[in-house]
Amino acid sequence: MLSAMKLMLTLFLSGIVACYGGNANYNSILLVSFDGFRADYLKNYRLPHLQEFIEDGVLVEHVTNAFITKTFPNHYSIVTGLYEESHGIVANAMYEEDTKKKFSELNDTDPFWWNEATPIWVTNQQQENRRSAAAMWPGTDVKINNTIPHFFMKYNHSVTFEERMENITMWLNNSSPPVTFATLYWEEPDASGHKYGPGDKENMRKVLEQVDNHIGSLTYKLKALGLWENINVIITSDHGMTQCFPHKLIKLDDCIGRGNYTLVDTTPVAAILPKNNKKYVYNLLKNCNTSMKVYLKEEIPDRFHYHHNKRIQPIILVADEGWTIVQNGSLTKCKYFHPSCSWWLILLNFYFYC
């Protein structure tokens, strides 16, 4: 079974990657992301459906996300094979000075932001007799390079996993030309990790059981439809998550007046656009807090691969792990932190043979 199909992907992300492959007349891939699935959840919680899935395939125990560790940039790295500076989705919130355009999680459908790269669903669909299908992977409801998946769902976080799964399996099962690349995205366990904190074992156990049941339902559905032997399934994630603490707070208002800059993106890597005097803003921030590194764009270390794009702001702030950057206020709502992975940023080339 494992030698029947060959699947090669280049990924740089955090979390687990597990892969199952069957016999097929054509190569078909279903790429599934459970947002914010930290690699060690697999060891620390009982996840029988996921374990069964892994036993049928292969497991990469740890992979490293791109810098910065946000959802949109990393999901686009997974499907383009590019660092963020190269594919252009450099943050969850972006601003481009030339065009005055803004990008956010609620305003993400302008192809302008996505057209610097070609995601795999576009490449797949541009081949003869192939279709792509998507159940809510970031960017799949946008016309990128004039191509949108033949089957796609407009992003809506309130649509259940079951509905997404029903759609994607239906499309995989009933399409001519066939769907040869499909994506399935689910917001958990990221949403609960943000809400409760990844260290909240009781609440995380509940949500991870739900995630595991989703994997069980997906496997069952693929088998029931007779798709299981004809598809490669990859289950992965975009980044990990770590606890932050109310006393580990970096308050920008203590160091600099808000009139001096625009906060384009927030913690744990904050993007600063100075209003007038860049050096003045930089110097104030540089001396703000010993738990925050401050880089001029041109000083950002090469190992971050986060420099060559005009959407990267002139000053970048990087909080140490466990610390949170705010303008003011407390941490009553914040119980999460995406690790910035500054010591771990390595381009990893994984080749999966399924």
**What does the block give as tokens for 16?**
């687990």
**What does the block give as tokens for 168?**
């994607």
Residue 336 beta carbon to Zn ion: minimum distance, rounded to whole angstroms = 10
Q: Which stretch in 144-152, 160-168, 175-183, 188-196 sits in contact with Zn ion by CB under 5 A?
A: 188-196
In whole angstroms, what is the distance from residue 266 CA to residue 269 CA? 6
Residue 286, CB-side half-sphere exposure with 13 Å CA sphere: 10
Question: Is 238 a binder of Zn ion (CB under 5 A)?
Answer: yes
Residue 165 beta carbon to Zn ion: minimum distance, rounded to whole angstroms = 19
Q: Which stretch in 45-53, 186-194, 226-234, 280-288 sits in contact with Zn ion by CB under 5 A?
A: 186-194
Residue 107 beta carbon to Zn ion: minimum distance, rounded to whole angstroms = 18
Residue nearest to Zn ion (CB): 71
Total residues contacting Zn ion by CB under 5 A comes to: 5
Helices (H) and strands (E) in the chain, counts: 10, 17
Residue 20 beta carbon to Zn ion: minimum distance, rounded to whole angstroms = 23
With tokens 């054509």, the residue in question is 26
Chain residues 57-86 in contact with Zn ion, contact rule CB under 5 A: 71
Q: Which stretch in 31-39, 60-68, 101-109, 271-279 sits in contact with Zn ion by CB under 5 A?
A: 31-39
User: Mask 198-237, x = binds Zn ion (CB under 5 A)?
Assistant: ----------------------------------------
13 and 66 Cβ atoms separated by less than 8 Å: yes
336 and 243 Cβ atoms separated by less than 8 Å: yes
Question: Is 108 a binder of Zn ion (CB under 5 A)?
Answer: no
**What does the block give as tokens for 44?**
């620390």
Kindly tell me which of 35 and 84 has the beta carbon lying closer to Zn ion.
35
Residue 190 beta carbon to Zn ion: minimum distance, rounded to whole angstroms = 5
Residue 16 beta carbon to Zn ion: minimum distance, rounded to whole angstroms = 14
Helix (H, G, I), strand (E, B) or coil at 59: strand
In whole angstroms, what is the distance from residue 159 CA to residue 186 CA? 10
Kindly tell me which of 131 and 239 has the beta carbon lying closer to Zn ion.
239
Q: Which helix (H) or strand (E) holds 325?
A: strand 324-326
Kindly tell me which of 35 and 108 has the beta carbon lying closer to Zn ion.
35
Q: Which helix (H) or strand (E) holds 171?
A: helix 161-173
In whole angstroms, what is the distance from residue 192 CA to residue 196 CA? 6
Kindly tell me which of 158 and 290 has the beta carbon lying closer to Zn ion.
158
Q: Which residues are identified as catalytic?
A: 71
Question: Is 35 a binder of Zn ion (CB under 5 A)?
Answer: yes
Kindly tell me which of 178 and 339 has the beta carbon lying closer to Zn ion.
339
DSSP labels for 107-147?
Answer: B---HHHHTTS--HHHHHHTSTT-EEEEES-TTTTS-BTTB
In whole angstroms, what is the distance from residue 131 CA to residue 125 CA? 5
Q: What are the residues binding Zn ion (CB under 5 A)?
A: 35-36, 71, 190, 238
